[in-house]
Amino acid sequence: MSLLKKRSVVNLLKSRRSIRIFKPINVPDEIVKLLVEVGERAPIPTHLQLYSFIWVKSQEKREELSEICGGEIVKNASIVLLVCGDLKRASMMLDLLEHRHVLSSDKHPVETVMSIFEAALAVDSIIIAAESLGLGSVILDCPLIYAPSIARLFNLPRGIIPLVLLCIGVRGESPPIRPRLPLEIILHEDSYREPSEDELKAYLAKLEKHMEIENYVKKYTGKDLKYLDYLKMRTELNKEVEKDYDALIKYLRENFFKI
Ligand SMILES: Cc1cc2nc3c(=O)[nH]c(=O)nc-3n(C[C@H](O)[C@H](O)[C@H](O)COP(=O)(O)O)c2cc1C
């Protein structure tokens, strides 16, 4: 059979999009365990698995979490997983081998970056598995932004960093497929090719047009802003952001995540 005829997973991936409106429907605990088990099958550089998931299970924790971040999405999703980088457990395991190991030092850039990479691979497997079961999902980045509050809420010890929330559930919306950069910009053949300003402008224009047709900013944020203005707002460097980022860098360093 030709490769292109075996397209079922490819079709699933090509039609995946983030879902931010969920029907408040419970799924059995077995589904959650199955999805996380599938996530664990993702490749890992060593068998230390530098990540942990906190299953936000009780109504009480969900309410508390939704106050800090995630709002209605966290309230209505069938499954909410707090995805964490976890260097603590790995360090404990390596201690057991009684040698001078990289996590006993103050410098472990590879492990720090890999913990985020490993967690992302596991998350992606879970997303794909959830899609195959007919469930939608979205990732929320707010746990990192509110790391100290999230760490308090879930009793995260030093060495465990909250990265993102993975929210999975029954779709309450059917949004269109969102734009991506053209292949010729992200797929480089043999050496890196810097894109021209015109190529980038064309993509930004396409993005703006799509988001306007989707009514994206108004629908999800309630703001009357064009998408590129929203993007500027989200990425603006100002005094407040500088202060927050300094605090986050300090928090990451204190928590053993060192680059
Ligand atoms: C690391 C990460 C963080 C994200 N954080 C948020 C978020 O905080 N809020 C949100 O609504 N979507 C979030 N998303 C979803 C993206 O906005 C979404 O993937 C992107 O707009 C592309 O849309 P699509 O997934 O529908 O193709 C996040 C996605 C990733 C990978």
Q: Could you report the per-residue pLDDT of 117-155, keeping only the tens digit for each?
A: 999 999 999 999 999 999 999 999 999 999 999 999 999
In contact, 161 and 144? CB cutoff 8 Å: yes
Q: What is the pTM of this model?
A: 0.96
Q: For 6-48, how does the pLDDT look when each residue is reduced to its tens digit (9 = 90+)?
A: 668 999 999 999 999 999 999 999 999 999 999 999 999 999 9
The residue whose CA has the least distance to atom 27 of ligand 1 is 17
Ligand 1 near 19 CB (within 6 A): no
Distance of CA 131 to the CA centre of its chain: 16
Strand-pair category, 136-140 with 79-86: unpaired
Q: Residue 188 corresponds to which tokens in the numbers above?
A: 């480089």
Class of domain 16-175: alpha beta
At residue 106, the pLDDT reads: 85
> How many Cα atoms are found within 13 Å in the side-chain-facing hemisphere of 165?
30
Ligand 1 near 161 CB (within 6 A): no
Measure the CA–CA gap between 230 and 226, rounded to whole angstroms. Answer: 6
Confidence of residue 3 (pLDDT cuts 50, 70, 90): low
Handedness of CA 174, 140, 213, 182 (dihedral sign): negative
At residue 6, the pLDDT reads: 66
pLDDT at 1 over 70: no
Q: For 182-231, how does the pLDDT look when each residue is reduced to its tens digit (9 = 90+)?
A: 999 999 999 999 999 999 999 999 999 999 999 999 999 999 999 999 99
Ligand 1 near 17 CB (within 6 A): yes
DSSP class of residue 80 equals E
Ligand 1 near 138 CB (within 6 A): yes
Cross-strand bridge partners of residue 171:
22
At residue 4, the pLDDT reads: 60
CA dist 98 to 48, 93, 111, Å?
16, 9, 19
**Angle at 239 (CA atoms; ends 235, 242), nearest 5 degrees:** 65
**Ligand 1: which of 141, 217, 231 to mutate, most ligand atoms within 8 Å of CB?**
141
